[in-house]
Amino acid sequence: MGIDLLFKIAGVGILISVFHIALKQAGKEDMAHLCTLAGFTVVLYWVVQLLGRLFSTVQDVFKLF
């Protein structure tokens, strides 16, 4: 995994916050929220994949199946 993913998540967070501010200043608040939600979904997808790997590792370590 490395530290790359953390930097990727931080980068996406920064860019999504810029998106949010730009859209909010243009008066498109609904689009701003939609954009934040899209960024959150992308990051959640990455994190869920890692959590899946974590759970399978725990299963392997304790010989749960």
Partner 1 sequence: MWIKVIGALMIIFAGISLGFIAAFRFNERPRQIRQLQSCLTSLKTYINYTVMPLPEALAASCEGINGPVRDFFSCSANMLAQNPMITPQQAFVQSILQLKGQLLLEQPELDLLTTLGANLGKVNCEEQEKYLDMVSQQLANIEIEAVQTRDENVKMCRYLGICGGLLIVIVLV
Q: Which residues bind partner 1 (CB under 8 A)?
A: 8, 11-12, 15-16, 18-19, 22-23, 25-28, 42
Shortest gap between Cβ of 15 and partner 1 (angstroms)?
5
Shortest gap between Cβ of 56 and partner 1 (angstroms)?
24
Q: 39: which 2 tokens?
A: 């960024």
Taking the CA atoms of residue 18, residue 20, residue 22 and residue 26 in that order, the dihedral angle to the nearest 10 degrees is 180
Residue 24: burial class (beta carbons within 10 Å; 0-12, 13-18, 19+): middle
| Residue (40 or 55) nearer to partner 1, CB | 40
| Residue (26 or 47) nearer to partner 1, CB | 26
